A and B are shown apart, each in its own frame.
Chain A
Amino acid sequence: MENTESVVHEVVSKVAAEKKLGPGSVRNSRTLVGDIGFKSIDLARIIAILELRLGADPFSELVPVTSIRTVGDLCNAYSLCFSKDNQAACDVSFERSRTRAETRLNAAAVRSERRKRIGGNHGKG
């Protein structure tokens, strides 16, 4: 498994270079928007790339994305993902996703039954 911090730094550097953003090395203390100059869509892209690279999404359940200010915050969010207790919340793998999907499908079936009981039929389509 690649070192999380080095992957985060690599991706942040790459996206900053593509956007021709200001000089300076990527350090954990640097703020993503103020110091480096990223826009929201750049952060969305960085997070999408990191999800593909690391197979983890800390922002779906574990960490509010609005709390991310610095490169260090980003590193910490992903490191938190890989701690033993949090892996399930961050895992974007198929098996975990399928389990969650099955749970939600069951919940959806319960909701559907409830709708039928209160007089709902399926709409035309």
Chain B
Amino acid sequence: MTENTEGRKVVVISGGSRGLGRGIAEAMLNDGNIVATFSRSPTPFTKELMKEGRDVFLWEAADGEDSEQLRRFAGSVIRRHGRIDILVNNAGVGIDGIMTLAREADIHRGIALNLEAAIHLSRACLKSMLPQRSGCIINISSVNAVRGHAGVAVYSATKAALDGLTRSLAREVGSEGIRVNSVAPGYFESDMSDRLSEKRLSQIIRRTPLGRLGRVSDIVGMIRFLISEEADFVTGQTFVVDGGLTC
């Protein structure tokens, strides 16, 4: 028996247990939506929400590298809430270092988590969106898909591929009222930027016209717009949120 969504949107977020994904999940919950996310193991954030017994938050264990587990997770959401309205493909992993020195295992894992997982999860969620003839998919890309940077070649490849997926999938499903867009964050306050040196961070800020690092709230703001009715005529696009770094 599906739970009554009472007009709320059902939002699936990959990697919603921490970092940017957690910020997106919190924003969606604050906006009155139902949020479903997964990770290989629970985090304090997911444990707290599950402990509260809120019927608007679902977390399950699932490995983003396993297409069957992703399909099963999407099926759980559909069985519980009867629908999926929004998918945010946020889960991803950094792959740093000169490409010729990269470990093959890291390359495979990066492609699996950053690209293949988004494809498999999109396929699974479209099984609900297509019958509904409505839905919205947001792919979290990166400025590294827009401009090249040394040391992130494979990561850039996966994010650029995600933007290609956005464009073609938007064409495929647009006739069914389903929109697909990418959001490409620049450098923002996160676990990833915490690993950069002070010198590197200063250099980035100096080269950013708006003079600061991004915040999770900056990216969430763009996502809120893209999933709203105000973006009803927007699909197949990549929106860069980087303070002007790449302009």
Contact = CB atoms under 8 A, between A and B. Distances in A.
Q: Which DSSP category, helix, strand, loop or mixed, fits chain B's interface?
A: helix
B16 interface: no
Range of interface residues on chain B?
A: 35 or more
Interface string B156-170: 000000000000000
B95 A48 contact: no
A53 B153 CA distance: 44
B68 A123 contact: no
B126 interface: yes
B72 A97 contact: yes
Contact of B66 (A41, A104, A123, A124): A104
Nearest to B127: A48
Interface of A: 39, 41, 44-45, 48-49, 51-52, 92, 94, 97-98, 100-101, 104-105, 108, 115-116, 118-125
A49 B131 contact: yes
B63 interface: yes
A60 B1 CA distance: 25
A120 B68 contact: no
A58 B79 CA distance: 20
A97 B70 CA distance: 10
Given A45-B131, A48-B130, 5 more contacts: A41-B130, A41-B175, A48-B131, A49-B131, A123-B109
Interface stretch (B25-33, B98-106, B180-188, B219-227): B98-106
25 contacts: A39-B175, A41-B172, A41-B175, A41-B176, A44-B126, A45-B130, A45-B131, A45-B176, A48-B127, A48-B128, A48-B130, A52-B78, A97-B71, A104-B69, A105-B69, A108-B66, A116-B105, A120-B105, A120-B109, A121-B103, A121-B106, A122-B106, A123-B94, A123-B95, A124-B195
Contacts of A108: 63, 65-66
Contact of B93 (A51, A92, A121, A124): A124
Nearest to A19: B175
Contacts of A120: 103-106, 109
A39 B176 CA distance: 12
Contacts of A94: 72, 75-76, 79
B131 A52 contact: yes
B236 to A, nearest CB: 15
Contacts of A115: 105, 108
Interface string B31-66: 000000000000000000000000000000001011
Contacts of B130: 41, 44-45, 48-49
B96 interface: yes
B92 interface: yes
Contacts of B243: none
Nearest to B113: A125
